[in-house]
């Protein structure tokens, strides 16, 4: 019906063009709403016919001049596959009898496409109709349009992949909460529905699994639900409420499927989400699926449980050089969070999520991206040298090794270093004394500020490690220093080692008009908490703790986050009697800003220490740990008052023990907010006050009450960062010297390597033979050719 | 029905200063540049507001289409490919047509009530219409004294509230609230929020519901100027009792606010308190928002954006503390000129779709909010603007502004013609542009 209508519309359009006195002013889109991308190598026979073949025939070194590479781009609205001749840089007209450029039709609203490894067939699934379309590549160049073979499915499918020998097709059936499997060698073609309904664990921790264990046929008893039950039992007790209930049966709605057949175990990965906001990536055993097991019987592990996952890719890193012993060998899962601007990294051999946080470690251990991840692509750039380090010549700017490209909803392309061969060479091959950890894997690749600025160590900035040594906070005298030095913003007095604890407001900028004490400004006039930073020469980048910090002159801001009480969650007292994590210490009980508020009925906040039990943007959840006894001048963790109500909000000051994870830069802070009470009685931020530097408003707080252990908004917190030494007692009255938990690994720009390549991107693909990335865009109707070395768009097809 | 159609940019400028002077009377049985529509409270009729955008007539109109006749005499007899366009006059209750100011913007029916509210840019009014399906012919739809309808059937001054209203009133949102009395009984009030297209204002009116026997016009109570320019939509979060969301043309964020008042306290003042902004950070340069709607369960909000053309998805579900998460979680591509959004949740179906009109491309995109992708595109008449859904007949009525028609869309998911245009009410007009 839809196809008929589209054809009718086309005919009508053609007739209009021919009959109208005044030709309509239309711009005919040729590449419209591009979706999935794949490539095919087509070779021309002597009789002029074309046939698809493996990509090796299109290798420029193969000498076969009758073969050409074509990009195939799914056009969702038109239900077509656009054929792009990459050798001639033009769109291919598959049927020149029809006006304008014509492409093969593949069904209503196709959603995903894959070309078989042998180049002979294209498999297309749709969200507009419950079919799988199979197109022979030999017909896609015309002269007439090929007729797909349609295989009926029980419901619409969203994603498709197939085995290397194309003997099996896997597709996701989101409306059926199932995975579909088709054996292509069995006629008639029929789909086996593999339900994905079971007890999905909620935590991100997955028990260690032997990747090969489940392939043993003797372990049939290791049924999926048992495995999932085991996982559920291993869950930590403090699973957030909003995560999936580990004991409840969950229907897993699949999004994307990938078949991974490497030298390691043969796997099928399925990403998805659950109705309650959970999800993850299922790892299924391909051998078991081939043997006829259903999805849960073939279950190996669930990764990133409790997190909704859409796009993902799997990368397998193997040592390239025989003399390297520290290559980050292994299998890794890169998965984009469906709801948050995060990219998760999982070590598939251990099941552990890797801490790649460059932003808020409280929010997650993932890489914060610019926008929602829409596609993930692992690329291994061939390293032409295999002679070992001794004879190795390398261009420091060249991309060699293994990288993961991330395409986000904002049109940004970013790169994650998985195995940066260039860095590895300069860090370890050239000097065995260098710390190999400096070539940090699984972090966003950053911008190099000079052509010869390859990653390498400067002297380790020990002062920045917060180990009790003097920290240099010299806003005006950084010249000649190899290490960066920090300074507060204009209105803040530079820190000196002799500063007392009264200088608690590092990183916070206030108005000047604090006549009584410029170092103790009126808190309601706080306007910013961006940090100033002064450096000499190149700016280091940070690993694990810094983040996507952008710089503008001497002001650094983190565009990925707003203000947040960031740090690491506090944990229970361990066997040694000490606490880990961040601690909120309220040293005094400041008067309420609303002087009419009677707080006499509430215990004083002064002299109380709290464990930070939860913190997100603008929020803190605290639990009282101890209180200060003025009579004994000591902190007591026993017998302190039980948690009670506080008179909130206060302008509290607190110190955070950074525990080696702390973010110092932010923008659009909670400091800019006032609070109000919404219709349900909750405190919420109100942006009506103090948002304009030039026109300060009265930010007098409204009043409300908040109980202990409740998460509340307190936009007026002030902080300083204490030493991150593990021995720093959180309850001590001795305030340690401020320190920053930065650990500088290499030099280059602070900013991640990122390029805005598209407006509403959909997919990214890599052609090894052309050494180019291709990006489809749904906003302005095109296919973009992207150079991985120049890191920019080099050609546009539309 | 004569129509002289000439679009000129000057008309846009004329919108705010055009008097409703005497001239050519508007047709009572025709649609001309329709901008808004709404089902009548009984669900039997579709009220259609014609904007008189080219000022061919002295007034705009609101007329009633008989939906039973549309279904039985038109749609049910259409072949698979749909019917040819038909004259609208055969479905119009001509005796009920009323005259309003020109440049009507939005038409909203009060919840479970007998009133409809119409924003009119030409006379800068909030016009209200009374609907009584059981009344005699000519008195079902009125905006004047029902007992003594004027011959012109032109809305009287009582029904055109202009005081307390700034230029270019646009979108309408109604929040009904009851206030129990200590002595028993309750006062029920409709709070009517009106956005303004060319300013950063939101106006609030109070309309009595219980008791209604006083038949008072809505009373202006507040005009807040705190918003960015061009407020295009105001909606109440269904899961909260008082958190509103506003979309604007000139901001890259959505704005939340609360509205506080106590109608039992006559000295009490009303106020709007702005809350958190929600940056549209899933887009590189997301701005020029044109509409905002919530999902049926309130866990998601959807925003149509023109820069770039997209539907932005906002997670508005409540967290453990009962606060909306208010984070943008995705964007789905749309075609040029995204305009108004409609959430369609068919009775008996555990699913819903978002319909987004794309004015410049004559298309309506159908979005699956779970998959977060477009699953269908409806090819429409010229200038689709707003889609009204009919849960009784499983039909949609698409207002095509430029060609002055109403497309009837099959919205029955079980139908083979689901999401197809089945019929067109009105003969499409060709519009010439002089630029």
Backbone angles phi, psi at A286, to 5 degrees: -65, -35
CA–CA separation, A101 and A92 (whole Å): 7
- Residue A681 Ramachandran class (φ > 0 left, ψ -120 to 50 alpha, else beta): left
Last residue of a domain, one of B303, B333, B363: B333
CA–CA separation, A513 and A517 (whole Å): 9
* Minimal-distance CA residue of chain B relative to A680: B241
CA distance from start to end of chain A: 28
Helix, strand, coil abundance in chain B, percent, nearest 5 = 5, 45, 45
Residues 6+ apart with CB under 8 A from A396: A422, A426, A452, A453, A454
pLDDT digits (tens, 9 = 90+) for B343-389: 999 999 989 999 999 999 999 999 999 999 999 999 999 999 999 99
Residues B104 and B187 reside in one and the same domain: no
Residue B101 sits in which domain range? 1-123+125-161+382-435
Task: Give the pair of three-digit tokens for residue A638.
Answer: 């026993």
Last residue of a domain, one of B305, B333, B361: B333
Are B240 and A680 within 8 A, CB to CB? yes
What's the DSSP call for residue A564?
Answer: B
Q: Which of A13-22, A670-679, B89-98, B400-409 has the lowest mean pLDDT?
A: A670-679
pLDDT digits (tens, 9 = 90+) for B217-243: 999 988 888 899 999 999 999 998 788
Task: Give the pair of three-digit tokens for residue B202.
Answer: 């939101």
Residues B82 and B198 reside in one and the same domain: no
Are B258 and A679 within 8 A, CB to CB? yes
Residues in chain A with pLDDT values less than 50: 1-28, 200-248, 321-325, 358-364, 387-390, 435-438, 449-574, 578-582, 587-595, 602-606, 615-620, 642-750
Q: Does this complex have an ipTM over 0.85?
A: yes
What b/e string do you get for A725-745 counting C-beta neighbours within 10 Å, with b at 16 or more?
beebebbeeebbbbbbbbbbb
Question: Could you tell me which of B321, B298, B326, B314 has the C-alpha nearest to residue A240?
Answer: B321
Candidates A242, A253, A686; nearest CB to B320:
A242
Question: Could you tell me which of A365, A343, A364 has the C-alpha nearest to residue A355?
Answer: A365
Ranges of beta strands (E only) in B271-383 are: 271-279, 287-294, 300-307, 309-315, 327-333, 338-344, 353-358, 363-368, 373-379
* Minimal-distance CA residue of chain B relative to A670: B276
CA–CA separation, A594 and A443 (whole Å): 45
pLDDT digits (tens, 9 = 90+) for B241-285: 788 999 999 888 899 888 877 555 555 577 787 777 888 989 987
B352 contact A CB<8A? no
Residues B423 and B388 reside in one and the same domain: yes
Domain count, chain B: 2
Do A519 and A503 touch, CB atoms closer than 8 A? yes
Domain contains B367: no
> What is the three-class DSSP state of A438?
helix
Mutate to test the interface with B, among A129, A155, A678, A702 (most CBs of B within 10 A): A678
Candidates A372, A412, A679; nearest CB to B243:
A679
Please state whether beta strands B432-433 and B6-7 pair in parallel, antiparallel, or not at all (unpaired).
parallel
Identify the pLDDT of residue A110: 95
B108 contact A CB<8A? no
Size of interface A-B (CB pairs under 8 A): 122
Residues B151 and B178 reside in one and the same domain: no
CATH code for position B303: 2.130.10.10
Do B237 and B243 touch, CB atoms closer than 8 A? yes
- Residues 48-107 on B with a CB inside 8 Å of A are 80-81
Query: Number of C-alpha atoms within 13 angstroms, CB side, residue A682?
Result: 21
B323 contact A CB<8A? yes
Candidates B274, B282, B308; nearest CB to A687:
B274
Residues B135 and B14 reside in one and the same domain: yes
How close does chain A come to B192, measured CA to CA in Å? 17
Are B275 and A687 within 8 A, CB to CB? yes
Identify the pLDDT of residue A220: 35
CA–CA separation, B338 and B359 (whole Å): 6
Question: Could you tell me which of A230, A232, A311 has the C-alpha nearest to residue A273?
Answer: A311
Task: Give the pair of three-digit tokens for residue A17.
Answer: 């063009």
Are A687 and B276 within 8 A, CB to CB? yes
Residues B212 and B322 reside in one and the same domain: yes
pLDDT digits (tens, 9 = 90+) for A703-714: 222 233 323 322
Indicate whether B153 pLDDT > 60. yes
Domain contains B298: yes
Backbone angles phi, psi at B125, to 5 degrees: -135, 155
Residues B10 and B138 reside in one and the same domain: yes
Candidates A127, A341, A711; nearest CB to B373:
A127
Identify the pLDDT of residue B311: 96
CA–CA separation, B406 and A476 (whole Å): 70
Residues B152 and B174 reside in one and the same domain: no
Distances (CA, A) of B406 to A199, A753, B384, B386, B423: 49, 51, 9, 10, 8
B20 contact A CB<8A? no
Ranges of beta strands (E only) in A5-115 are: 34-44, 50-53, 67-75, 80-85, 90-91, 110-115
Last residue of a domain, one of B333, B365, B398: B333
Task: Give the pair of three-digit tokens for residue B190.
Answer: 């409709």
Residues B92 and B26 reside in one and the same domain: yes
Residues B155 and B198 reside in one and the same domain: no
CA–CA separation, A717 and A524 (whole Å): 11
Indicate whether B431 pLDDT > 80. no
Query: Number of C-alpha atoms within 13 angstroms, CB side, residue A485?
Result: 18
B276 contact A CB<8A? yes
Indicate whether B68 pLDDT > 80. yes
Identify the pLDDT of residue A686: 38
Distances (CA, A) of A18 to A13, A96, B408: 9, 18, 30
Domain contains B358: no
Q: Angle at Cα B234 formed by Cα B229 and Cα B235, nearest 5°?
A: 155
């Amino acid at each position: 019906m839809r196809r008929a209508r589209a054809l009718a519309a086309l005919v009508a359009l053609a007739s209009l063009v021919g009959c109208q006195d005044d030709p309509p002013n239309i711009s005919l889109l040729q590449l419209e709403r591009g979706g999935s991308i794949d490539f095919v190598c087509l070779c021309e026979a002597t009789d002029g016919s074309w046939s698809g073949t493996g990509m090796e025939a299109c290798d420029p070194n193969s000498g076969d001049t009758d073969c050409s590479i074509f990009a195939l781009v799914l056009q969702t609205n038109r239900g077509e596959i656009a054929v792009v001749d990459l050798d001639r840089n033009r769109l291919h007209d598959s049927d020149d009898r029809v006006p304008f450029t014509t492409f093969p039709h593949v069904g209503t609203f196709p959603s995903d496409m894959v070309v078989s490894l042998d180049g002979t067939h294209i498999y297309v699934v749709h969200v507009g109709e419950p079919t799988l379309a199979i197109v022979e590549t030999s017909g896609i160049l015309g002269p007439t349009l090929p007729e797909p073979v349609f295989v009926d499915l029980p419901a619409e499918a969203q994603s498709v992949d197939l085995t290397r020998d194309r003997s099996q097709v896997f597709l996701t059936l989101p409306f059926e909460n199932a995975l579909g499997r088709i054996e292509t060698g069995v006629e008639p073609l029929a789909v086996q529905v593999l339900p994905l309904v079971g007890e999905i664990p909620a935590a991100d921790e997955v028990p260690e699994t032997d990747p090969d264990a489940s392939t043993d046929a003797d372990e049939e008893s290791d049924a999926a639900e048992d495995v999932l039950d085991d996982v559920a039992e291993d869950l930590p007790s403090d699973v957030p409420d909003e995560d999936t209930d580990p004991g409840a049966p969950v229907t897993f709605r699949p999004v994307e499927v990938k078949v991974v057949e490497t030298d390691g175990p043969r796997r099928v990965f399925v990403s998805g989400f659950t109705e309650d906001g959970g999800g993850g990536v299922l790892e299924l055993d391909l051998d078991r699926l081939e043997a006829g097991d259903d999805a849960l019987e073939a279950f190996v592990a669930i990764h990133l449980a409790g997190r909704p996952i859409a796009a993902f890719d799997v990368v397998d890193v193997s040592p390239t050089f025989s003399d390297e012993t520290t290559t980050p060998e292994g299998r890794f899962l890169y998965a984009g969070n469906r709801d948050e601007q995060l990219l998760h990294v999982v070590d598939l051999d251990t099941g552990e999520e890797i801490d790649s946080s460059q932003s808020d470690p409280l929010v997650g251990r993932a890489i914060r991206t610019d926008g929602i991840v829409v596609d993930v692509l692992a690329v291994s750039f061939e390293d032409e040298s295999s002679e070992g380090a001794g004879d190795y010549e390398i261009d420091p700017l060249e991309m060699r090794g293994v990288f993961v490209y991330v395409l986000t909803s904002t049109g940004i392309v970013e790169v994650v270093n998985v195995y940066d061969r260039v860095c590895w060479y300069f860090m370890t091959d050239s000097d065995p004394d260098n710390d190999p950890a400096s070539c940090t894997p699984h972090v966003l690749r950053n911008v190099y500020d000079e052509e010869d600025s390859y990653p390498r160590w400067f002297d380790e900035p020990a002062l920045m490690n917060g180990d009790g040594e003097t920290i240099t906070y010299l806003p005006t005298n950084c010249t000649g220093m190899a290490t960066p030095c920090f300074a507060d913003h204009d209105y803040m007095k530079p820190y000196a080692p002799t500063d007392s604890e009264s200088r608690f407001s590092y990183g916070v900028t206030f108005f000047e008009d604090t006549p009584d004490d410029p170092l103790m400004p009126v808190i309601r006039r706080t306007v910013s908490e961006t940090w100033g930073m002064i450096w000499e020469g190149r700016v280091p980048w940070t690993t694990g703790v810094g983040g996507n910090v952008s710089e503008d002159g001497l002001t650094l801001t983190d565009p990925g986050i707003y203000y947040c009480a960031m740090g690491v969650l506090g944990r229970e007292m361990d066997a040694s009697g000490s606490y880990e994590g961040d601690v909120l210490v309220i040293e005094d009980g400041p008067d309420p800003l609303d002087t009419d508020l009677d707080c006499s009925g509430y215990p004083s906040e002064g002299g109380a220490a709290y464990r930070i039990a939860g913190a997100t943007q603008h929020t803190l959840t605290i639990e009282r740990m101890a209180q200060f006894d003025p009579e004994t001048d000591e902190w007591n963790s026993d017998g302190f008052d039980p948690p009670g109500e506080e008179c909130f909000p206060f302008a509290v000051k607190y110190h955070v023990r950074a525990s080696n994870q702390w973010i110092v830069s932010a923008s659009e802070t909670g400091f800019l907010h006032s609070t109000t009470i919404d219709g349900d009685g909750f405190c919420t931020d109100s942006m009506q006050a103090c948002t304009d530097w030039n026109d300060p408003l009265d930010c007098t707080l409204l009043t409300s009450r908040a109980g202990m252990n409740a998460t509340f908004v307190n936009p007026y917190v002030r902080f300083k960062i204490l030493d991150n030494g593990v021995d720093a007692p959180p309850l001590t009255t001795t305030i340690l010297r401020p320190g920053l938990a930065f650990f500088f690994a290499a030099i280059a720009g602070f900013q991640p390597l990122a390029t805005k390549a598209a407006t509403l991107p959909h997919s990214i693909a890599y052609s090894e033979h052309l050494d180019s990335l291709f990006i489809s865009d749904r906003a302005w109707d095109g296919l973009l050719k992207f150079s991985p070395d120049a890191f920019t768009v080099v050609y546009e097809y539309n | 029905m004569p129509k002289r159609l000439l679009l000129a940019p000057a008309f846009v400028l004329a919108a705010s200063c055009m008097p409703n002077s005497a001239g050519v009377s508007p047709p009572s049985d025709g649609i001309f540049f329709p901008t808004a529509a709404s089902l009548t409270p009984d669900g039997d009729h579709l009220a259609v507001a014609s904007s008189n955008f080219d000022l061919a007539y002295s007034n705009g109109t609101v007329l009633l289409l008989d939906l039973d006749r549309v279904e039985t005499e038109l749609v049910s007899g259409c072949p698979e490919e749909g019917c040819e366009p038909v004259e609208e006059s055969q479905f119009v209750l001509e005796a009920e047509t009323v005259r309003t100011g020109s440049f009507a913007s939005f038409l909203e029916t009060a919840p479970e009530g007998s009133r409809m509210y119409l924003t009119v840019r030409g006379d800068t009014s909030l016009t209200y219409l009374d609907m009584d399906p059981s009344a005699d012919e000519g008195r079902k739809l009125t905006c004047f004294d029902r007992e003594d309808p004027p011959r012109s059937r032109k809305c009287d001054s009582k029904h055109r509230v202009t005081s307390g209203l700034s230029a270019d009133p646009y979108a309408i949102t109604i929040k009904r609230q009851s206030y129990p009395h200590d002595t028993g009984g309750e006062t029920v009030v409709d709070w009517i929020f009106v956005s303004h297209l060319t300013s950063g204002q939101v106006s609030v009116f109070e309309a009595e519901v219980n008791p209604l026997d006083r038949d008072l016009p809505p009373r202006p109570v507040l005009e807040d100027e705190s918003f960015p320019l061009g407020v295009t939509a105001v909606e109440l979060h269904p899961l909260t009792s008082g958190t509103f969301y506003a979309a604007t043309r000139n901001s890259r964020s959505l704005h939340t606010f609360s509205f506080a008042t106590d109608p039992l306290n006559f000295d009490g003042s009303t106020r709007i308190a702005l809350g958190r902004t929600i940056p549209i950070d899933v887009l590189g340069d997301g701005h020029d928002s044109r509409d905002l709607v919530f999902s049926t369960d309130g866990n998601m909000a959807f925003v149509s954006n023109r820069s770039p053309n997209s539907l932005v998805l906002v997670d508005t579900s409540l967290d453990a503390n009962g606060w909306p998460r208010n984070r943008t979680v995705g964007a789905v591509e749309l075609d040029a000129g995204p305009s108004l959004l409609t959430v369609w949740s068919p009775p008996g179906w555990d699913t819903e779709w978002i319909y987004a009109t794309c004015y410049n491309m004559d298309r309506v995109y159908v979005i699956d909010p779970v998959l977060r992708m477009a699953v269908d595109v409806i090819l429409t008449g010229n200038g689709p603007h707003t889609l009204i859904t009919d849960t009784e007949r499983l039909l949609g009525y698409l207002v095509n502004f430029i060609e002055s028609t109403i497309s009837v869309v099959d919205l029955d998911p079980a139908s083979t013609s689901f999401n197809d245009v089945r019929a067109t009410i009105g003969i499409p007009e060709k519009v010439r542009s002089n630029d």
